[in-house]
Amino acid sequence: MMEWTSDEIMTVAAARRLADGETCLVGIGLPSTAANLARRTHAPGLVLVYESGTIGAKPAILPLSIGDGELAATADALVSVPETFNYWLQAGRLDVGFLGAAQIDRHGNINSTVIGSYAQPDVRLPGAGGAPEIASSCGRVIVVVRQSTRTFVDQVAFRTSLGHRVATVITDLGEFERHPGGELVLHRVHPGVTADRVRAATGWELTIADDLAETPHPTAGELGVLRHLEATKGRAAQP
């Protein structure tokens, strides 16, 4: 059996949540890696949209930013940023929003603005970007984030994006689903991870599903494609 890292199983688990034929607005970083993995494995018809205006991007390498030329070079269409948001996103044409987070609370609210007070923050984060619109306008939202009590907090320091459309959160420890009451509930733990370990990395009193399951192991094929993708990071596209 192949070995894998916690980041690898998190990325594989996130990729599996994307279906063939869906339209996905992708954030840079772990969400982009997972979305590109999905397109190369079980969802070849997945349409990747980046907020810079690249519709149907098919990057051969992992982009470093939404302005990476690889996205424009491989897209089906290039549109303006206002058109991306006004026509595609806010009009409800995108099935899935795929986001990261610096902090997330039990209701899926996301902070990507500051840690500490807004006026005098301990840490100034990159900011909202398009995340608030993505979180409020996509059909559903998937968040990918490494889990600790610093990221899974009882109350976010700043509510950058509302969590009412966050359906799933994938971490390096397990998989969470939103329940009808609005709270994120642990439904799966990754192999080798216990519910107690997930509870210790959560900043609120965690609810665990009665039918708690284990994430299926990554396949050799998934890991092979993922590692090839990771090896392309930062590499210039070949003409």
Would you please indicate which residues are annotated as catalytic (active-site) residues?
Answer: 51
Q: How far apart are the first and last CA of the chain?
A: 37
- Least Cα distance to 209 among 192, 189, 229 occurs for 189
Write the burial class of residue 228 (CB in 10 Å: 0-12 exposed, 13-18 middle, 19+ buried): exposed
Residue 14: Cβ within 10 Å count = 25
3-state secondary structure of 41: coil
Give the span between the Cα atoms of 8 and 18, in whole angstroms: 16
Residue 181: Cβ within 10 Å count = 8
Residue 48: Cβ within 10 Å count = 26
Give the span between the Cα atoms of 212 and 209, in whole angstroms: 5
Residue 29: Cβ within 10 Å count = 17
Q: Answer whether 218's CB lies under 8 Å from 9's CB.
A: yes
Q: Answer whether 136's CB lies under 8 Å from 162's CB.
A: yes
